[in-house]
Amino acid sequence: MTSGSLVLNGVTDKQLAKIIEYKSTHEGLFNFSLSQTQQVPTPPNQPTTYNNFVILWGSDNGLKAVVELLASLLT
């Protein structure tokens, strides 16, 4: 069994929405923790971004889902 965590920095509101949507369709495969997430101060007219966004998984299928999620965030 594979378990682990990943910390993302520079997550935009649009990417956060994609993560939440993806999680809802892959319920139980991975979780994320917002308790450590920090909003990055950004200049006006720039998208809001977040650092220390933690994603956790506890199975091989969870890892596969996280890899697919990361690939979708890059496109």
pLDDT per residue over 20-39, tens digit each?
Answer: 999 999 999 999 988 889 99
Cα distance from N-terminal residue to C-terminal residue, the chain: 29
Look up the pTM and report it.
Answer: 0.86
The domain total for the chain is 1
- Considering the domain boundaries, does residue 3 fall inside one? no
Domain span including residue 16:
11-73
Confidence of residue 57 (pLDDT cuts 50, 70, 90): very high
> DSSP per residue over 3-69, as a string?
-EEEEE-SEEHHHHHHHHHHHHHTTTTEEEE-TT-EEEP--TTS--EEE-EEEEE-SHHHHHHHHHH
Contacts of 33 (CB under 8 A, 6+ apart): 54, 56
Would the pLDDT of 75 be above 90?
no
In a domain, residue 38? The reply is: yes
- Per the CB < 8 A criterion, the answer to whether 4 and 63 are in contact is yes
DSSP for residue 1: -
